[in-house]
Structure 1
Amino acid sequence: MLHKDSKTNYTKANSIEALLDVGAQILQQNAISRARLEAEILLGFVLGLQRVELHIFSNNPVESFFVESYFRLLKRRANQEPIEYLIEKVSFYGEELYISYGALIPRPETEILVNKALELIDQKDCKNIVEIGVGSGAISVLLAHLNKSLTKKDSALTLHASDISPEALFIAYVNKVNFKVDNLSLHHSSYLDFNIKMGLKFDLLISNPPYIKNGTLLPKSLAYEPQNALFGGERGDEMLHHIINLAYQNQIPYLLCEMGYDQRESIQTHLKEIPHRALEFYKDLAGLDRGFMVSF
């Protein structure tokens, strides 16, 4: 919430520099760690200016309409609403993706999943890729985009991705269009249900499914994100187990999944009952278990 003294500052602030000072103060008072940076991001978004332009034109006055819009955003951010939703964009793998309510905000650790997928695609010559739970499209869209950039030619990949959320599929579609990805098909479907009639064969199944145990207390900011993209069941690992089963049943040679830091033993135990050639785990930047790759 905004502190009571912010209204006084608000009425006095009418230049870019003054607005940034007040915004940084408000955010800092509400425990936003990058207060000045986020004040700049929000004001830049409202004014349609880059951060460097805010400094170049720091003494310029700002019209009251934009001031009001800026302070509305500050109030929402002070209440821990994710800044990515406020400005409708997120940085992921060095690119800028569209994001909005209805899809989980892509995290830096998921960039590791993209790296692992690119390695598999290159080393195992995977051509037909499917993703369960496409969300914002960060994984599938970036895989298509990066593969094309790295090979310096038209991508030979064919990608399919499913999600049960129409809102998420719309966000993924916007990113697909923005990145000019024409080899990705999006499906409103649970898991691989869309493929029952199509009968497609896949080389690689990728997923970053919900894997948090139901009832787990989460930071306030996560309350703004789709809960069905976070919670994976009474144990948290139910969807991971089902995806493993689907990969095996559909004879998909490779499975790559993100998981919770404490789910390594669960995955190992489940795979004891399923024939497979290899199981490898990978860690995130904090050194915690974050994902696994299965070869069938």
Structure 2
Amino acid sequence: MTTTFWTIQSLQAWAVPWLQQRGIESPRLDCDLLLAEALGVERLALFLDPKRPVAGTELATFKQFMQRRARREPVAYILRRRQFWRHEFLVTSDVLIPRPETELLVETVLDFFPQSSPLTILEVGVGSGALLCSLLLEYPEALGVGIDLSAAALRVAEENGRRLGCWPRMTLWQGDLLAPLSSGQYQGHFSVIVANLPYIAAEELQSLQPEVVQWEPRLALEGGTDGLAVIRRLPGAACPLLAEGGLLALEIGATQGDQVAEMLRDTGLQEVMLRLDYGRLPRLVSGRRI
């Protein structure tokens, strides 16, 4: 009876077509990320030492990762981390995986306010905390509040705040949209309100990749019949919470720009603008309280 001797190179040669046959869109990248994690090395090490033997425990871990990926579990959930903006964040299946498009919200705030500004920042639907933490790390004098309906998501956001050192400047509340701020004491309080709320129409959801539909929290994805059921509840309630000169910025679906821009104008916000994502599609609407 012979025993197969595995190296990095031979595992890659087996794993890449194996993933491809199972419908994985980026089999080489996913293979390398999971193999590097199983070996406890940086991805570059795979290229520098392709003939390195893979030990039994490492092989077992890698094969477990491969089975999970074959079930279309996202790589970010398997690794329990995702890069966003300038930092790495803990992610679990309790939170939406941070996307590059959401970095536009960070860029937009940076365009409006100097980094020395002592901002008060509110994120509605804070999820993993990637956006709020990124803003707090760009604005060392800022304070941040995050709200989420999910207690599990808030635990992830807290852990990320603690890991990155911005937890002392963060406050997290559980609740539906702005319900935790309904007392009236926060009128005119926030310099910045940002949100990446659910904006996918219910009937469109099933057409998305299995990684999204089967694994990411539906609460963070589905925006009702037209995708705007959650978003349309926010501008009118958020506007009174903005300080003079304050900014409201929302991530949106690619076809929702005109509708959401009109919502912001209807609340009295000025300088309403659409911003395009890296694919040249409308992805963000912002307005200011002047």
TM-score, normalising length: structure 1: 0.87
1:221 to 201, 207, 211: 211
Q: 2-side partners of 1:50 and 1:168: how far apart?
A: 28
Q: CA deviation at 1:76?
A: 1.9
Q: Does 1:63 align with 2:55?
A: yes
Q: Does 1:196 align with 2:182?
A: yes
Q: 1-side partners of 2:265 and 2:143: how far apart?
A: 31
- Tell me: CA distance 1:59–1:101, structure 2 relative to 1, closer, same or farther (3 Å): same
Q: 2-side partners of 1:164 and 1:232: how far apart?
A: 15
Q: Does 1:171 align with 2:161?
A: no
RMSD between superposed Cα atoms in Å: 2.1
Query: What 5-or-longer segments of structure 2 have no aligned partner?
Result: none
- Counterpart residue number, 2:193: 205
Q: 1-side partners of 2:145 and 2:241: how far apart?
A: 15
Q: 2-side partners of 1:116 and 1:234: how far apart?
A: 29
**1:114 and 1:143 in contact (8 A); partners too:** yes
- Counterpart residue number, 2:17: 25
Q: 1-side partners of 2:241 and 2:8: how far apart?
A: 58
Q: 2-side partners of 1:118 and 1:70: how far apart?
A: 40
Q: 2-side partners of 1:272 and 1:205: how far apart?
A: 16
Deviations 1:222-280 (A, max 9, x none): 02100110011222112222110112243453211101111123224434543232311
Q: Does 1:40 align with 2:51?
A: no
- Counterpart residue number, 1:259: 252
**1:84 and 1:105 in contact (8 A); partners too:** yes
1:232 to 207, 214, 223: 223
Query: What 5-or-longer segments of structure 1 have no aligned partner?
Result: 1-10, 148-154
Q: Specify the SS of the correspondent of 1:194.
A: helix
Q: CA deviation at 1:74?
A: 0.9
Q: CA deviation at 1:214?
A: 1.5
**1:210 and 1:230 in contact (8 A); partners too:** yes
- Tell me: CA distance 1:157–1:198, structure 2 relative to 1, closer, same or farther (3 Å): farther
TM-score, normalising length: structure 2: 0.88
Q: CA deviation at 1:94?
A: 3.4
**1:237 and 1:266 in contact (8 A); partners too:** no
Q: CA deviation at 1:79?
A: 2.8
Q: CA deviation at 1:125?
A: 4.8
- Tell me: CA distance 1:199–1:51, structure 2 relative to 1, closer, same or farther (3 Å): same
Q: Specify the SS of the correspondent of 1:96.
A: strand
Q: 1-side partners of 2:266 and 2:134: how far apart?
A: 34
1:142 to 113, 121, 134: 134
**2:123 and 2:193 in contact (8 A); partners too:** yes
